[in-house]
Amino acid sequence: MQKFKIILAGLRVLLALLVLSPMVAMVDATWTSGAAFAQSVIKNIEVVGNRRVEPETVRSYLQFNSGDTYNASKVDASIKALFATGLFADVAIDYKGSTVIVTVKENPVINQVAFEGNSEVDTATLIGEVQLKPRSVFTRAKAQADTQRILDVYRRQGLFAATVEPKIIELEQDRVNLVFEINEGAATKVKGINFVGNHAFTDSQLRDVISTTQVGWFDFLKGTSVYDPDRMNLDRELVRQYYLKNGYPDASVTAANAEIDPDGSGFIITFAIDEGQPYTFGAINIESSLPGIDTSTLKGDLLTQAGAVYDASEIDKTSEQLTLDIADQGYAFARVRPRPIPDATNHTIAITYVVDEGPRIYIERINVIGNTRTKDFVIRREFRLAEGDAFNSLMVDRAKKRLQALGLFKSVDIKRRPGSAPDRVILDVVVQEQSTGELSFGAGYSTSEGVIGDVSISERNLFGNGQYVRLKLAGSFERMQVDLSFTEPRFLDRNLAAGFDLFFKQLDYTDQSGFEQRKLGGDVRLGFPLAEHLWMQTMYSLSRDEIFDVTNWASPAIKEACGNFDPNGPTDQNGLFRCSDAGYWTSLVGTTISYDKRNNAKNPNRGYYIQLANDFAGLGGDAQYWRVNAEGRYYYPITDKITFVGRAVGGMIQGWGGQDVRLLDSFFKGGETVRGFDISGFGPREIGPNSPNQDALGGQKYWAATAEVRFPLPFVPEDIGLSGAVFADAGSLWDATGGARAAVAATHNSANFPKGPDTLIDSNVIRSSVGGSLMWNSPVGPLRMDFAQVLTKDKYDQTQFFRFGASSQF
């Protein structure tokens, strides 16, 4: 019984323990949790390691404050926020007791930014490109970003092999010098430019349109053969505009790709073209919803003509001219919108110019951005709008195209943004400039002059004023020439091209006529448009011509030209005839009118060109004459690749006031006019015992005509630049000067000319030839070889079957 009581008491104690244990555990857990809570509350935040940055600045980026519960996720967010400031190289946050300790290591301050190894890109350009500057905070992320910016600059220069490594030099007081070590590598140039899908125009014609050029022998003198993605985008638009101008309204450049060739030495650029079908203009009409506008009076502004080849640029110019004309009638907000009506069956596009009233918005301001060299006025003068004028989107678009046509900018963009009022707009003209200077030279061989060469330096944006200047030196065994030209394309801020030329030329006609000629002088000129495609230039010229080094065996007519007619006259120590009146001054005014409808000035295959030049000498000076020259050219595409070219030239010179035309002012013609003839190979000539070389005397009248068919050579890749032609030439030169006639007639006086009389051969007989040509767009420039067989000539004309030299476009 006693044992039973003891066991029962033990069970009661055990039961009590089982009941009380959870309660004790709960009490213990509650006590522990409360202690932990008391310990996780942040009572203090300390910042250590900072030198320049104030502690409060550091605390402002923390995601927690004193009194908050310590939270690991907020600590992580605080670290990220501090790193994002760019002020710190390292950040750590520790929690000790109730204190949070924020340890920072500040990024150093840049003392100096330097560049090493750069020669192709100047330091000033690189300084303007990078974002890190002296006294700014250095971060590795910003240094890497600037490294990429520098690489982008070099890639725009075609230096894709360039490498850049940023390095820091630590200084005292947490300062560093930042040095970008640059290895420029070799320039990556354009080895080839190809076109795919082009049928209407050859690769050679399209290469003349774009600004990028292929690598050549002398490409180191210019930057256009260096690969530039921005320039390639410009070229893409130039090709498209060329098609739109020449009858292909649906043409597009579907792709423009640049690929490194397998050996990594250059880029191959390929333009993929979808030409579409050629179109001509259909009916042209004007519709107006504005009261008081008589559309019949606007017909004279139409440049688009029914039946003509479709030309998008003519539509733009007509729209602009109509807008200006209507604005002059008091409709400042008039809007002209061309409405094309295509006829796919007949391949015509009728154009209706719709005139209505546009939104009443004014131009508040025009900002020019990106022009570091070009002055603002050069850009602003291309706008036919000014601040305060009514806004017209067509006029703005035309201004953009004029800016692109200047050739001064790699890209042009005009952005529009709201002004200070709902009816105000601000125009931002954003331009990217390109190199406008060029140094070039060439060398070669000509059958007419022997070894030839030239050097020229030009600048199309002189001092940022948009002016053009060129200095050229050229020479050969037969010629020496120096020219300096200056042109202001917007004289008095109007559409006037004014300029001057200074020139010196020395020619050796010893083999042809037994003398040498020297010409020194200058001129001033003023050119302006009379109408679309019609240009007029007036000029005044003052020059001194001199004949010298006349050979002792020169004909009496040549000796008469140098003022010493005596056949036995004095000679110098070199046996050359001494001239007593070798030089004279010429003061003349001249006018030239040109009408140009060619589709490409460099390499046309459609259109025509007409020029008439008239000179009047005698406003002072010694010479008195009237001279006229005329020229016409016609181009017709027989097929997509074959072009017919026709050319006709002619001219005459005549003295006035009782004065005869001087020998040096006469026309001398040869193989450059009718192929198959030598230099000065046809025309008046003195024949006889007193003229053993049968000297050419020049004539006062000439004409010439050419018919030529140009074609690509079969089985020859087009990118080589070889092409061929067959031609037929004809022409004549006659009417020797009165002085030459008198000198030849004087040889019939046996007392003065015991050798016997001479004869003047002066006939207007037609000289003609046929032949073939081989043309090459070589790396040193266009070269041409002509093989000509003379069909008709005068008895004493001098011929030349083969002619080789630099190609002259016509």
Residue 592 pLDDT greater than 60, yes or no: yes
The Cα angle at residue 402 between residues 397 and 405, in degrees rounded to 5 = 130
Confidence of residue 564 (pLDDT cuts 50, 70, 90): low
Helix (H) / strand (E) element for 708: namely: strand 701-712
Q: Are 483 and 470 in contact (CB under 8 A)?
A: yes
Task: Identify the three-state secondary structure at position 123.
Answer: helix
Q: Which of 473-482, 503-512, 651-660 has the highest mean pLDDT?
A: 651-660
Residue 716 tokens, joined: 């020859």
How would DSSP label each residue in 470-496? EEEEEEESSEEEEEEEEEETTGGGSS-
Per-residue pLDDT, 37: 42
Q: Of 279-283, 482-486, 492-496, which range is least confident?
A: 492-496
- Phi and psi based region of residue 80 (left: phi greater than 0; alpha: psi -120 to 50; beta: remaining): alpha
CA distance 396 to 430: 13
- Dump pLDDT digits (tens) for 626-636: 999 999 999 99
Residue 20 pLDDT greater than 50, yes or no: no
User: Mean pLDDT across the chain, nearest whole number?
Assistant: 86
E strands, 345-466, in order: 348-357, 362-369, 409-418, 424-433, 437-446, 450-462
Residue 264 pLDDT greater than 80, yes or no: no
- Dump pLDDT digits (tens) for 400-452: 988 988 888 888 999 989 999 888 999 999 998 888 888 776 666 666 666 77
CA distance 88 to 51: 11
Per-residue pLDDT, averaged over 22-31, amounts to 40
Main-chain dihedrals φ then ψ at residue 365, nearest 5 degrees: -155, 150
- Dump pLDDT digits (tens) for 195-207: 999 988 888 889 8
Per-residue pLDDT, 222: 60
CA distance 112 to 114: 6
Per-residue pLDDT, 659: 92
| 629 contact partners, CB below 8 Å, separation of at least 6 | 611, 612, 613, 649, 650, 651
Per-residue pLDDT, averaged over 128-141, amounts to 88
Percent of the chain residues topping a pLDDT of 70: 89
Percent of the chain residues topping a pLDDT of 90: 44
Residue 131 CA to chain centroid, in angstroms? 31
Residue 7 pLDDT greater than 60, yes or no: no
| Spatial CA neighbour of 586 closest among 662, 508, 485 | 662
With tokens 């020395």, the residue in question is 506
- Dump pLDDT digits (tens) for 599-642: 888 788 889 999 999 999 999 999 999 999 999 999 999 988 89
Confidence of residue 376 (pLDDT cuts 50, 70, 90): very high
Per-residue pLDDT, 583: 86
Helix (H) / strand (E) element for 143: namely: helix 140-156
Q: Compute, in degrees rounded to 10, the torsion defined by CA atoms 24, 30, 35, 41.
A: 170
Q: Which long-range contacts (CB under 8 A, 24 or more apart) does 379-387 make?
A: 379/403, 379/429, 379/431, 381/490, 381/493, 382/406, 384/320, 384/324, 387/363
Confidence of residue 537 (pLDDT cuts 50, 70, 90): very high
791 versus 85: the higher-pLDDT residue is 791
CA distance 441 to 792: 39
Confidence of residue 219 (pLDDT cuts 50, 70, 90): low
Q: Are 764 and 770 in contact (CB under 8 A)?
A: no
CA distance 137 to 121: 26
- Dump pLDDT digits (tens) for 686-702: 998 888 888 899 999 99
Class of residue 663 by CB neighbours under 10 A (exposed 0-12, middle 13-18, buried 19+): buried
Per-residue pLDDT, 789: 96
Residue 100 pLDDT greater than 50, yes or no: yes
Q: Are 650 and 704 in contact (CB under 8 A)?
A: yes
> How many helices (H) and strands (E) would you count in the chain?
13, 35
Residue 476 pLDDT greater than 60, yes or no: yes
105 versus 665: the higher-pLDDT residue is 665
